[in-house]
Amino acid sequence: MRDFERLRKCYGNVYSLFIGPRAAVVINGAQAMKEAMITKAADFAGRPQDIFNFNCHLWLLLSKRMVLADYGASWKEHRRFALMTLRNFGLGKQSMEQRILGEMQYTMETLKRSIVMFHNAASNIICQVLFGTRYDYDDNFIKVVVQCFKENSKIANGAWAMVSHNMFVSIRCYAVFFIALEVTKTCKKLATCLITEHKETRVPGQPRDFLDCYLDELDKRSDDCSSFCEDRLIMFVLDLHFPGTDTTSNTLLTGFLYLMTYPHIHGRCQQEINQVLEKKDHASYDDRRNMPYTQAVIHEVQRIANTVPLSVYHCTTKDTKLMGYFLPKRTLIIQNLNSVLNEEAQWKFPN
């Protein structure tokens, strides 16, 4: 990340570089990021489709994923379905808050035993929406899933994820992506088992969770040329499960680390919480309005955590311009989110 910052200071907020033989454009700063990802969102909504081409087995698995899917009819169709279904199951509503509060009871019981609990808690909340099930922290399913997600996160955020598809593929690189392939296969087997169970127990038209809703949608679209299919469902639920688990748990870990490092901030948060809650057992989302300091600390933790500093790579969907520079169609785009979260013009104390 220091090299990206050094290049930004030298060449500005939009510059190009080569990763092996592949040219890429790096976007820095709030102004350039806003123009690309908000003002011209459709122009920059593509995903590079050749990242894993050197490994056809991995590509066949990942090509069904929606996070890596290119901008088009299939992506739009699945995004629309996911947003509608997740809202029906409580996304942004009080019912989701109750799931979170319920899971916190289990988290508090295991607080002194294991640091992995944050991954377990985040995963379990998502499991309840996707699969209609909560798993004990000692359950083999949750253990395997969390371990797989952690392995894939290490690979995705490591140096080989960036350079391997553009440079000479070494033996070590193949070894890294062989691990990714095996981990993805393991997750796919677990998801397939859950789908099979749902097929056997579901009542059409009476969905219990996200899987049931998708299976209902498959029944409706059985005769058309829709992009909905069972293979895509498997990767779809993994796409929803993995990013939410990894980013949420790592943000929580960062928050706990900083609160332990700065006990005076911890104490001030606790004092404000006690004053607002009085005799209540737990805080609710509505209480945030009366906890400005605690809410500010949460936002600062999210800024500092910066869990995915380069985001997921994008590419341009057509010839376009950014900050006056011409970018041809299919240009690889790297978003340096670190530059936004530490930009001196945006933050009083960025560092």
Asked which of 261, 281, 304 is the last residue of a domain, the reply is 261
Number of Cβ atoms within 10 Å of the Cβ of 199: 12
Same domain assignment for residues 37 and 158: no
Residue 94 within any structural domain of the chain: yes
| pLDDT, tens digit (0-9, with 9 covering 90-100), for 239-268 | 888 888 888 888 998 999 999 999 999 999
Reported as a pLDDT band with limits 50, 70 and 90, residue 213 is very high
- Looking at the 3D structure of the chain, how many domains does it have? 2
Same domain assignment for residues 86 and 43: no
339/65 Cα distance (integer angstroms): 28
> Would the pLDDT of 337 be above 90?
yes
> Pairing between strand 320-322 and 314-315?
unpaired
Residue 19 within any structural domain of the chain: yes
Asked which of 261, 277, 294 is the last residue of a domain, the reply is 261
> Would the pLDDT of 318 be above 80?
yes
Reported as a pLDDT band with limits 50, 70 and 90, residue 319 is very high
CATH number at residue 151: 1.10.630.10
Residue 349 within any structural domain of the chain: yes
pLDDT for the residue 171 = 44
pLDDT for the residue 198 = 95
pLDDT for the residue 23 = 87
CATH number at residue 351: 3.30.43.20
| pLDDT, tens digit (0-9, with 9 covering 90-100), for 56-110 | 444 445 555 666 666 777 778 788 888 888 878 776 666 778 788 888 777 777 7
Among 163-172, 244-253, 313-322, the least confident range: 163-172
**Averaged over 279-283, what is the pLDDT?**
83
- pTM (predicted TM-score): 0.77
Residue 302 corresponds to which tokens in the numbers above?
A: 């999210």
Q: Kindly state the percentage of the chain with pLDDT values over 70.
A: 84
Same domain assignment for residues 44 and 103: no
Reported as a pLDDT band with limits 50, 70 and 90, residue 274 is very high
> Would the pLDDT of 305 be above 80?
yes
45-59, 72-86, 128-142, 156-170: range with highest mean pLDDT: 128-142
- Beta bridge mates, 27: 14, 335
Residue 283 within any structural domain of the chain: no
Same domain assignment for residues 96 and 21: no
Find the length of the chain: 351
Residue 305 within any structural domain of the chain: no
Residue 252 within any structural domain of the chain: yes
Residue from 153, 342, 249 nearest 257 by CA:
249
Same domain assignment for residues 29 and 135: no
Residue 25 corresponds to which tokens in the numbers above?
A: 């454009």
pLDDT for the residue 90 = 72
**Averaged over 117-135, what is the pLDDT?**
90
How far is CA 247 from each of CA 13, 46, 172, 310, rounded to the nearest angstrom? 26, 22, 27, 13
**Averaged over 201-210, what is the pLDDT?**
93
Same domain assignment for residues 111 and 128: yes
Same domain assignment for residues 229 and 337: no
C-alpha neighbours within 13 Å on the C-beta side of residue 243: 12
If one compares 168 and 309, the residue with the highest pLDDT of the two is 309
Same domain assignment for residues 36 and 123: no
Residue 277 within any structural domain of the chain: no
> Would the pLDDT of 31 be above 80?
yes
Q: Please report where in the chains the tokens 């899933």 appear, as a residue.
A: 145
339/145 Cα distance (integer angstroms): 32
pLDDT for the residue 92 = 64
Same domain assignment for residues 16 and 126: no
If one compares 174 and 20, the residue with the highest pLDDT of the two is 20
Reported as a pLDDT band with limits 50, 70 and 90, residue 283 is confident
The overall average pLDDT reported for the chain is: 83
Same domain assignment for residues 198 and 71: yes
Same domain assignment for residues 91 and 182: yes
- Beta bridge mates, 334: 26
For 351, the domain range is 1-48+313-351
Residue 139 within any structural domain of the chain: yes
Asked which of 200, 232, 261 is the last residue of a domain, the reply is 261
Residue from 187, 252, 232, 244 nearest 69 by CA:
232
Reported as a pLDDT band with limits 50, 70 and 90, residue 220 is confident
DSSP, residue by residue, 230-288: HHHHHHHHHHHHHHHHHHHHHHHHHHHHHHHH-HHHHHHHHHHHHHHHTT-SS--GGGG
336/27 Cα distance (integer angstroms): 6
Same domain assignment for residues 133 and 245: yes
